[in-house]
Amino acid sequence: MVATSSIPCQLDLHSLKRFSNISYDPSLYGGRAAYFKSSNMEGRISIFASGKIVSVGTRSERRAAQEIESFKQFLIKNHITKPFTTRTAIRNIVVVADFGEAVNLESLAENRMVVYEPEQFPAGILRISEPCKATVLIFSSGKAAIMGLANSTQIDPIIEEISEILKRTH
């Protein structure tokens, strides 16, 4: 999951590094981001001086919102900000799938279903617009990475659609 939210104030990233669960290295990304990670988190929170925050690495929308809430409580508890309301927005869901059998990527490319250039990248790129918009990287092993989903209810329908596409090309 990739989820975003914001804090209603600017943050001094350099001063946040005094906390053990915040890492900040000014040489990374020009010093534009710090990272929050506690022992009970699945993912981590990227923190920007503007107050924007990005949660990455959780496995559900609910968990992403919980981790953003946890970071908010950390800020309030440490008197970095006053209480505020967060709104979490899911920006991207990435799913890894295994379709259980080898895929002939050249055949998919011949049927113009995927873009496949093995000299450039070892997977075919499939763009799907129905039942929802997604980009799929399909590997010859039958494994795939599905990106661009907006909520978890889209996972099963998109996997079914990919399965149908693969069946039609056998």
Q: Indicate if 37 and 67 belong to the same structural domain.
A: yes
12 and 82 assigned to the same domain: yes
Whether 110 and 67 map to the same domain: the answer is: no
pLDDT of residue 84: 95
What pLDDT is recorded for position 167? 87
The pTM of the full predicted model, rounded to 2 decimals, is 0.82
Number of compact structural domains in the chain: 2
Residues 121 and 53 occupy one common structural domain: no
Can you give the residue range of the structural domain that contains 154? 93-168
- Looking at the structure, do residues 70 and 97 belong to the same domain, yes or no? no
- Average pLDDT on 133-142 reads 95
- 44-50 long-range contacts, CB within 8 A, separation 24+: 45/71, 47/11, 47/13, 47/16, 47/22, 47/71, 48/11, 48/13, 49/10, 49/11, 49/12, 49/13, 50/6, 50/10, 50/11
pLDDT for 30-77, tens place per residue?
A: 899 999 999 999 999 999 999 999 999 999 999 999 999 999 999 999
| Judgement on whether residues 18 and 32 belong to the same structural domain of the protein | yes
Residue 66 and residue 104 in one domain: no
Confidence of residue 113 (pLDDT cuts 50, 70, 90): confident
CATH no. for residue 125? 3.30.310.10
